[in-house]
Structure 1
Amino acid sequence: MKGEFPGLADGWHYLDSAATAQKPQVVIDAVTRAMGGDYATVHRGVYARSANMTLAFEAARTKVAALIGAPAEELVFTRGATEAINLLAYSWPDKGRVLLSTLEHHSNIVPWQLAGWQVDVCPLTADGRIDLDAAEAMLTPDHKMVAFAHVSNVLGSMLDAERAVALAHRVGAKILLDGCQAVARLPVDVAALGCDFYAFSSHKLYGPTGIGALWGRAELLDRMAPWQGGGAMIERVTFAGSTFAPPPQRFEAGTPAIIEAIGFGAAADYVRAIGLQAIHDHEAALVAELRAALRARNDIILFGPEESAGIVSFAMDGVHPHDLGTILDEEGVAIRAGHHCAQPLMDHLGVPATARASFGLYSDSEDIAALLRGIERTRRIFG
């Protein structure tokens, strides 16, 4: 499997897939073709190559939508999950209270604040899951939106999404799931989940940076006003006023990320061919292996639930995570050290930062062994 990823060809032990995933050769090849011999702009060219590129661009939308069980006409391409959440926070017409959770990424906190929503915060269970019993008690008809991470980017804890959806809908709220960490690790079917919106990015799904998606139910997207104006999102423009295209084009102002979209579609094809359940099972086994090894040490604090989706966060007694990360890098091991864009969660855990090892479909036990050797070397250095 590692042989399909040029970025891992030198034996690098890459354990930072939750930040961004390495790219398989098939995605690199798709991007190269799109940027080279196939390249043209999309949607308005009358020449053959433009028409062909338009077909490829819209085929990518279909592939990405299929990954989450959605129709293509309900999938909006954005610059990433961050822009997807901003789009919803600003464009949803019925602003009011939004219920978030303690473990949310900053990109699922700050947009709601900036857009003028009143933020309420759901606490966590003792093992680091979103406490849906507390959410049930907190939700009222004043809540217009619930926005929860499907999988925590720090703890790997998985949301009981079906129950969260039911609780939101019981009080008349809509619900957004932040799927950045889920779509590369879990089978996702938005119809089965029953959610209203789903946001995710390409680069954590083995695709290019600079592109993501917001899925929303057609009737809900139709209620939303454009967030940005420009070309491609209009029906008719005069100086007296403008009318706008239907979704998803309404939310895709300007020349789109053509190359990135095609890479996004290739990445979606790649993981679907392997199977998301197979990927999840593989990463779950690695999580269990690593947690068992770390639990056997008396100088490690583990965070989050035992069963997590591909992510293990921990702290080493007497060693700052940044120092650990630096020493591990000398050993050819890459982890993430810091607050992981989740400062409220760090406050909840009572630490300034954690060390985070996160797996991808290319990860294996050799990566864990290298990480453990680096931890042991760190202990010898710090005593």
Structure 2
Amino acid sequence: MDLAALEGEIQRLADRARAGGLQLTGEGGLLGRLTKLVTEAELQGETDDHLGYGKHDPAGRNGGNSRNGTRAKTVLTEAGPVQIAVPRDREASFEPTIVKKRQRRLTGVDDLVISLSAKGLTHGEISAHLAEVYGAEVSKQTLSTITDRVIEGMAEWQNRPLDAVYLVIFIDCINVKIRDGQVANRPIYVALAVTVDGTREVLGLWAGEHGDGEGAKFWPRVLSEIRNRGTQDVCIVVCDGLKGLPDAIAQVWPQTIVQTCIVHLLRNSFRYAPQKDWSALAKDLKPVYTAPSEQAALDRFAEFSDKWEQRYPAIIRLWTNAWAEFVPFLQFDTQIRTIICTTNAIESINARIRRAVNARGHFPNEQAALKCVYLAITSLDPTGTGRKRWSNRWKKALNAFEITFDGRLSVGRT
């Protein structure tokens, strides 16, 4: 079918749909027929290019290879199953590109499956969705094969070059259940950075190892990987009591300040008290972490201890043990403190990851878990830019970082 005939057929179908004689979706619907027309027209064009002449063109007579009819093939599309006629040639040398041999789904369907998976739907839910909306039966194994397409992209993403300097890197942990002989919790670590331009960037994902996933062997490898990808310096690393991490940071980036996560410290404090006391505890702890100096913080913490130690000694011990990693926070300008304590970006990522992880229950292996987490992260950034503003008042924060970390922000910049 030439272009004029194709346009005429499309117009005819559109006119019929407007007149109410043709449904948009469903079996025999407008979208399905349009998909069939366009796909078959493209296949005919590919055949013309392959043979070197058009259909019914006299130039093809007695010229060697020629058309040899068509074969019917049903492909799954976003409009549902569509039967198309695929041209054949006598030498069987024609290799279609729009619908390759043995291909049973058009690209849009694969993208749809990956998108639904990234939003946290299980393979069973996606299969049910495709059956309900498109009338297509797709097995869980097929869905798994489709989502495996992202593994190559995930490897490229995990090894991409990074900025020379980051102002802050937040390292957080998501626990997943992996069936390795028996189901057991395994940590997956997410590194989220704040760039010099004031945007956020997820640097990578790392699955913790059995037993020493947070120990002396693991963290030097992770941080060295980040450094080898181009990161020469980090001003502040914010983490939550990860064993072996501060020592590894000192080896890889000697000037970096290790800061405990204030938000996690507060949340961990509430674990030891009933909810009715949370507001009072938060009110009494605020003067500690907003104090203008370490001495002022010590004085406020002493007042907090006098009031609460008898009832909640575990909270006092928690803050005492974390004090060395908490203290650096007090030396920073208010603008820097705000950047460190602004957790909306972290929470949005963690919430999406946990929703996707919890929907699946457990994973057969580490790669499946990493794939799930990666899909959840990419669903927050469908454009692939990954550069969303961390703070609306970035210029003030940047000035504060420039003064505090004099000369370090320009490393690697021209």
If asked which structure has higher relative contact order (CA below 8 Å, sep 6+), I would say 1
TM-score grouping bracket, smaller chain normalisation: under 0.3
- TM-score, normalising length: structure 2: 0.23
- Structure number with greater Rg is 2
Q: More helix by proportion, 1 or 2?
A: 2
- TM-score, normalising length: structure 1: 0.25
